[in-house]
Structure 1
């Protein structure tokens, strides 16, 4: 059975490590001064599709340099710091530090796909007259996340990212960065301290601890990350981005009670945040509150314009609620729209297994293998307790013969 956990690619804890890397460079940069800004144009739908295909291909094939170039996050940071009135030297130093902090980001995205995840185009659409490509991230555990990438075309014809709306954070990447950059800069320039609010001063004081937490999460040291989080002032423990870090740590520990506790805190502190539906699905799923799971998934599905992965997640919840006919119709709809969607086949086969309809299980296993949505073999099925009854049947013998001929 698939889970509803969210995918954390380019999430807040990733941004935290990026910003924490923005230290002072050893010497001023000798790079040439920037050229005059050029007026961007609206890329065509074909150009948007080509860009998204290139990004998906780079992540899937592990082409780190291309992922780094296509994301262009350093350019977004450059535009953010333009508003802070920094000198040219200060800006160059800051961007050098940011580049060091960015080193892990392409690796993180590539690693999720290597572990069984998927990063792909969901749709091309326009918002406020701007072209966007909505990219969907499916984690190795079936969790889902979205990056709504705003594209522009430069006068030379090159298409690049202008900004990214990150559903997990509930805002654009540039907005997330602005929240974080100014407090960090006070470590380098105490003259900026007077510009900070009380909350920002507390943030600045604990930035090193927060950077350590994000690194702990990346290295699988979830217990250490949670201990550091709980040592922070209450105000920071109630900060949206830091709570996302804590939820990721609790999720990594498989500490269901701790994970639920952090989800409840997030729900209480940010009841109207755009990211809440993506977060809270897990909470209601764990609590077996199927009605709220369905509502949250439906709201999220409408927000992204429809997604077969969310239909598969809804189907999984419908199975748990014993609404089998609805689940069957929904996951088969998901397979029709996206024929190689692994999670949809998993739910559909779980329905057949639950009904002990072995012929049906055989049919859907074959379809999943033919579309490359599934990589099942007879040995792996024997090791899976969900197939304990199926492997005793003639349908399983038929599957083995079919696999042997492929």
Structure 2
């Protein structure tokens, strides 16, 4: 199968389904979050965060005085929470963000987003609520790949910050929290090593932590992130260690999608995708099923999965790309043009650039009457109103 590459700019996002029990204000807020993430706009995210509520969650239970908490949180009170910068990094451009649904869990609304980036697939879950002025706001955030809520990870940061500022916490803490504080110098050394790209030394330092700190979920996830950039075999072993410590954890299914040792295990991959889908209800996972089937040379099954992905989320372009590639390979030129037209409809008002790389099947398609007629319509429309664009065939 020849490679077919695509680039989508300014694509549309159709509204997700919503239960009638969800307040429309929360769906409106979720759409604002989606637009801010897609456009790389951290300020829009930060403006909808209830910083006071988050700060209460972060500092709840810290064994320090209220006066010291005020000192510790002074910067947050002054500048606010950098939620947008945390999610978007230096710019956030290139993120593919999709609001999947807004659902009630008990009396609390949660908005779930799919995020595709250079780092792969992730899901972000926002806990929503109303502030003292009865405005719909964000209370908390759970990035699935981090394994915990922002309030939980920030609590640990504040605990260690309090220890660094001379608070005698070891007398007021028990269990793993006390060990975190006792091994603060070692934890800070790990952070410095990672910042200096000395990943192997950082791993060795992690392995010297006491068992309860070393085996904590946060440490295990940090260790996996480092292993993923170092060695595939070690990463796979790290996954096994994580699975033993946290059996049945939903994170394992996300990790499985990137596990090099499972890429050829179609049945195992399908099971992981199915478990993840039951949790998130994401049409994109039909696309991943189709990719597994392609590797198994089940072309009919792959096509069905790609079509299901598009039925669930017509704005997904990746399934179109695979279906287009298959249609061209099978010399279904009319079908390939129908797919191109469908892609155009899904990016109303945006730009579509398709690059078809050289190869015998591609050459036949590019010489076909169907393609030339479609290209003529593209050129005419481009001259008329600056619509979608097509770049001609290129050689790798």
Q: TM-score, structure 2 length as denominator? A: 0.75
Is 1:130 paired with 2:102? no
Residue 314 of structure 1 deviates from its aligned partner by 1.4
Residue 286 of structure 1 deviates from its aligned partner by 4.6
Residues 287, 335 of structure 1: alpha-carbon distance in 2 compared, 3 angstrom cutoff: closer
Poorly superposed stretches of 4+, deviation over 6 Å: 99-104
State the match for 1:390 in structure 2.
362
State the match for 1:63 in structure 2.
41
RMSD over aligned CA atoms reads 3.5
Structure (1 or 2) with the larger CA radius of gyration? 2
Report SS of the residue matched to 2:219: helix
1:269-280 correspondence runs (5 A): 269-280=245-256
Which of structures 1 and 2 has the larger relative contact order (alpha carbons within 8 angstroms, sep 6+)?
2
Conserved 8 A contact 1:74-1:95? no
Cα displacement string for residues 220-259 of structure 1 (whole angstroms, at most 9, x for unaligned residues): x7x5345423333254554432343344345456x54454
Is 1:265 paired with 2:219? no
Where structure 2 has 5 or more consecutive residues not aligned to the other structure, the ranges are 5-20, 382-396
State the match for 1:39 in structure 2.
none
Cα displacement string for residues 5-39 of structure 1 (whole angstroms, at most 9, x for unaligned residues): xxxxxxxxxxxxxxxxxxxxxxxxxxxxxxxxxxx
1:11-22 correspondence runs (5 A): none
The one of 192, 207, 211 aligned to 2:187: 207
Is 1:290 paired with 2:266? yes
Is 1:172 paired with 2:149? yes
Where structure 1 has 5 or more consecutive residues not aligned to the other structure, the ranges are 3-42
Residue 54 of structure 1 deviates from its aligned partner by 1.5
Corresponding pairs, count: 353
**Following the alignment from structure 2 to structure 1, what is the Cα–Cα distance between the partners of residues 85 and 108?**
29
Conserved 8 A contact 1:267-1:280? no
Return the structure number with greater helix share. Answer: 1
Is 1:93 paired with 2:71? yes
Cα displacement string for residues 53-103 of structure 1 (whole angstroms, at most 9, x for unaligned residues): 111222233332222222446742432213224333311222245679987
Report SS of the residue matched to 2:168: helix
1:114-129 correspondence runs (5 A): 114-129=92-107
Residue 107 of structure 1 deviates from its aligned partner by 3.2
Conserved 8 A contact 2:22-2:103? no
Q: TM-score, structure 1 length as denominator? A: 0.74
Report SS of the residue matched to 2:258: helix
